[in-house]
Amino acid sequence: MSRREQIVIGLIVALTVAFLALALFGRQGLREVRRLRAERQQLASEIAQLRDRRRELEAEIADLRGNTKSLEARARHDLGMIKKGETVFLLPEHHAQRR
């Protein structure tokens, strides 16, 4: 094999190695593709959870709109509302540890 052929083969091998290195470790290389796939899977999971939560909230809204007892219970619990004629007793909170 002549010196010129050795140089050409050496350049081809060097370019091939450089290309493989870029393909594996470059900006859009194999590692980046794997990272992006994992991120996509995580985002898909979060989207599914948010859709489930949205369905729960929509069901809760429908219940509150159609059921006055649910609405009343929610108003009492969340807003501290009372019915006309009721008496509310506010008791001081008991603290387990006093210094």
Q: Quick one: DSSP state of residue 29?
A: S
- Whether 14 and 21 have beta carbons less than 8 Å apart is answered as no
Q: How many alpha carbons lie under 13 Å from residue 54 in its C-beta half-sphere?
A: 6
Q: Residue 83: helix, strand or coil by DSSP?
A: coil
Distance, CA of 83 to CA of 30 (rounded, Å)? 65
Q: pLDDT by residue (tens digit) across 57-95? A: 999 999 989 988 888 888 888 888 888 888 888 888 876
Average pLDDT, the chain: 86
Say if residue 99's pLDDT is above 60. Answer: no
Residue with tokens 């006309």: 84
Amino acid symbol at 71: L
Domain spans, the chain: 3-79
pTM over 0.75: no
